Structure 1
Amino acid sequence: MFRNLFFAALVAALCAGLATSIFQAWRVTPLIFAAEAFEGDGNAHSHAQDTPEHSHDEAATTADSHDEDEWMPQDGLERTAYTVLANLLMAAGYALIIGAVSVLFNLPITFANGLLWGLGGFAAFSLAPALGLPPGLPGMPVAETLARQIWWAGAALSTGAAFVLVAKQRAAWALAAAIALVIIPQLVATPVVPDEASGVPAGLAAAFTAAVLYNGALFWVILGLAFGRMADYLASRPVTLANGAKA
């Protein structure tokens, strides 16, 4: 059983990772490139009002330091390859997570309920966190990384627990508790975003948020359906016993 779940998770991760990579290249990456053209515009404008020469020297020094200390993949094939690899690893991690939840709470993943698993994963890991921390483009001010990670994890775990509770218990109290679990993270104050100027247009930021959510929905639906289809296929195969007979 564990071998079948692991193999189903890997196949589902491959399908979802490749699909989300294609969607990112089509809709998400162009928005990131567009935002990078505005990155630093807000800070450059404020410095230019006071000491333009000092601002220019400081920017050059920062750029040199960035080039020397930080490695980044080159635009084009190299950047695309690393993006696809990162998506596949992310998909494998999420697939193993829902596989572990399936085993731990005795909630089988099948093709019939794969869509529900996908929608639940999207709501828990994409939609609920985005309500408090919408996706941000390069050049936009963001809160402290650790604080954002803690809030994101709390929202995802609480929302995911709500879906597991409803799946295991059909009582009215379970539904009320699940609703509370979904709402509570949204009542907790999200990390404070610094009040800094940003050169990224509001329309571009809104388009990026929508594209990321569409990408998340596509990713999770494919992951759930592919996982369920592979789980059904592997479960229907005859089991070979130690003496060579088939059960």
Structure 2
Amino acid sequence: MILRLLSAALAAGFLAAVVTTGLELTLTSPLIIAAEAYETQGTQRAAQASPAGLPIVPAHDVHARVVQARIVQVHAGHDHGAPSAAPAWQPGEGLPRMAFTGLATLVGAVGYALLLGAVMLACGRTPTPETGLAFAVAGFASVALAPGLGLPPELPGSAAAPLAARQAWWVMTAAPTGMGLYLIGVRRSLIAILGGLVLIVVPHVAGAPQPPAETSELPAALAAQFAARSLAVSFVFWALIGLGLGWAWQGFSARGREAARA
């Protein structure tokens, strides 16, 4: 069982990673590069306008989003008067950047496929393409769509709340959404459905952490386009994981039965 799950997850993750990496490089990477150009221009203007003897050092933090899912973005802030620090490492432009994008997508895809398969088996569902797709849509809603309603995917240079606050809100949104969908889709009793709806709505009633009131160099249209494309790519990513997991599971099951008969 475990070996079959691992094999199916590897196959599904590879399929999803190949397609999603191509979509990322075509649809979202050009927007990230354009945003980095705006970010660099803003940093240079701020450095030129700063008083003499007051260094402005970019402080980079890496924030991974679904996939998030699963595109690594570098958000820049400015620490006035802080000691000089080396910027965070990033892959070089061109082929190194594409290779690391593909590798990160592959690792995330296999991990999510394993998690998705384990959840299906724990719920008593045999992985099939139809069941896999249904659970994958629930995974997309929990990991990408629901958190994205409060914290949409952000480009480098976007104004953002503190990283710890965003991570905490992401967890407090993704986990209740997943549990709520489980109660609605699997339990299906009236009380379970009502409880599931409450779990899904509460994080959004509480609200996501808001960024500081400061202007961003990025055009609003660029940020909106990136958020929309990222969510669309994430949906394709999850759908391929679910379908691929179901196909691979059935394929390995059929081979196992043939080997047992032989």
Question: TM-score normalized by structure 1?
Answer: 0.87
Q: 2:247 aligns with which of 226, 229, 234?
A: 229
Partners of 1:40 and 1:199 within 8 A in 2: no
Stretch of structure 1 that moved more, 156-165 or 201-210: 156-165
Q: How does 1:164-243 map to 2 (within 5 A)?
A: 164-239=182-257
Per-residue deviation, 1:20: 0.9
Which shows bigger deviation, 179-188 or 230-239? 230-239
Q: Structure 1's 172 and 58: CA in aligned 2 closer, same or farther, altered over 3 A?
A: closer
Q: Deviation digits for residues 187-215 of structure 1, max 9, x if unmatched?
A: 12312312222110000000000110111
Alignment of 1:46-65 (within 5 A): 51=51, 58=56
Q: Which amino acid aligns with 1:9?
A: A
The offset of 1:40, in angstroms, is 4.9
The answer (yes or no) to whether the contact 1:162–1:182 under 8 Å persists in 2 is yes
1:99 and 1:238 mapped to 2: Cα distance?
Answer: 18
**Structure 1 residue runs without a partner (length 5+):** none
Higher Cα Rg, which structure: 1
Query: Secondary structure in 1 aligned to 2:129?
Result: coil
Assess if the C-alpha contact under 8 Å between 2:132 and 2:242 holds in 1. Answer: yes
Larger fraction in helix: 1
- CA contact under 8 A between 1:112 and 1:228: conserved in structure 2? yes
- Tell me which of 145, 166, 172 is aligned to 1:127: 145
Q: Which amino acid aligns with 2:261?
A: K
2:97 alignment counterpart: 79
Any idea what the Cα deviations from partners look like across 1:94-115, whole Å, max 9, x if unmatched? 1111122123222322112222
Matched ranges for 1:152-163 at <5 A: 152-163=170-181
Change (3 A) 1:97 1:43: same
Which structure 2 residue ranges, 5 or more long, are not aligned? Answer: 59-77, 79-83
Check conservation: 1:41, 1:198, Cα contact below 8 A. Answer: no
Residue 168 of structure 1 deviates from its aligned partner by 2.4
Match status 1:89 vs 2:107: yes
For the residues of structure 1 that align with 2:15 and 2:260, how far apart are their CA atoms? Answer: 33
TM-score, normalisation: structure 2: 0.82
Change beyond 3 A, Cα 1:80–1:50: closer
Q: How does 1:93-112 map to 2 (within 5 A)?
A: 93-112=111-130
Which stretch of the first structure deviates more once superposed, 184-193 or 135-144?
184-193
Contact 2:21–2:102 (CA under 8 A) maintained in structure 1:
yes
Q: SS of the residue aligned with 2:261?
A: coil
Instruction: Give the structure 2 partner of residue 151 of structure 1.
Output: 169
Aligned length, in residue pairs: 238
Percent identity between matched residues is 37
1:147 to partner: Cα distance: 1.3
Cα offset, 1:217, TM superposition = 0.7
- Partners of 1:238 and 1:21 in 2: CA distance: 32
**Is 1:25 the counterpart of 2:40 in the alignment?**
no
Corresponding residue of 1:36: 36
Paired amino acid for 2:130: A
1:168–1:209 distance in 2 versus 1, CA, 3 Å: same
Contact 2:125 2:131 in 1 (8 A): no
**Given the superposition, is the C-alpha separation of residues 164 and 196 from structure 1 closer, same or farther in structure 2, using an over 3 Å criterion?**
same
With CA pairs under 8 Å and 6+ residues apart, which has the higher RCO, 1 or 2? 1
